[in-house]
Amino acid sequence: MEDRETQKQRVIDELREFGVVDNFWAIHNYILRLGAIIHGLRKEGWLFNGMFGEGKNKKNYYYYLVEEPKPKQFSLWMKRKKG
């Protein structure tokens, strides 16, 4: 489990720095389940555009970061129950 979190964090760091990750980068960094990590990030609210490369990279898939989820804000105001 710890290794998966480390891989996820490496993907997040790469997305924040460069705005894109791809399968060749992931394999080079020993991340073999990039699609599963991206799927999990999407469930957390991350937005991506994806596309295959061109030319000799046509088998490589690129995930471009569109939007990172905004932090949830905590409200001190709570609704009171009536009755």
pLDDT digits over 17-41, tens only?
Answer: 999 999 999 999 999 999 999 999 9
Residue 82: what pLDDT?
A: 59
**Contact of 27 with 68, CB cutoff 8 Å:** no
Nearest to 7 by CA among 38, 51, 42: 38
Report how far Cα 82 is from the mean position of its chain's Cα atoms.
Answer: 42
Phi then psi for 63, rounded to 5 degrees?
Answer: -110, 115
Residue 18: what pLDDT?
A: 97
Strand-by-strand arrangement of the 61-67 sheet: 20-22, 61-67, 47-52
Is the predicted pLDDT of residue 80 greater than 90, yes or no?
A: no
Instruction: Judge if pTM exceeds 0.85.
Output: no
pLDDT digits (tens, 9 = 90+) for 50-67: 999 999 889 999 999 999
